[in-house]
Amino acid sequence: MYTSIFLQVDGGGLMGMLPFLLMFVVIYFFMIRPQMKRAKNEKAFQASISKGNKIITTSGIHGKILDIVASDNTVIIETGAGKIKFERSAISMELSKKLQAPKKIK
């Protein structure tokens, strides 16, 4: 004997979709939106760097920006070992502003 199973819809399709819509909203506000904000801040930071800034690269190298080559999006950084050429996207943080900021007394 063959048995058929039929699924019944309780009135409306919107109520059945509500949990999925709620999951999407939660994922958007806790994962997608913060990531987009971080990317926007990172892009603004990379555009704002200039000659003479003391920086740290993503690999942890500390240095000072000597020159910015706009045509190939690279920077020349002076370190203790000499001059190194990096991609602009490899700069993770600027030390110049952190060093000038007033220290908090505990």
Q: Assess if residue 70 is contained within a domain.
A: yes
In a domain, 106, yes or no: no
* Model pLDDT, residue 36: 94
Rounded-to-integer distance, Cα 51 and Cα 88, Å: 12
Residue-number span of the structural domain to which 72 is assigned: 18-100
Render pLDDT for 48-87 as a digit per residue (tens, 0 to 9). Answer: 888 999 999 999 999 999 999 888 889 999 999 999 999 9
Question: Is the residue at 59 inside a domain?
Answer: yes
- Per residue in 8-51, pLDDT (tens digit) is 545 556 777 888 899 999 999 999 999 999 999 988 988 888 89
CATH no. for residue 51? 2.30.30.30
Structure tokens at 36: 């987009």
Answer yes or no: is 105 within a domain.
Answer: no
Number of domains in the chain: 1
pLDDT of residue 19: 87
Residue 30: inside a domain, yes or no? yes
In a domain, 13, yes or no: no
83 DSSP β-pair partners: 78
Q: What is the pTM of this model?
A: 0.61
Whole-number Å distance between alpha carbons of 60 and 38: 20
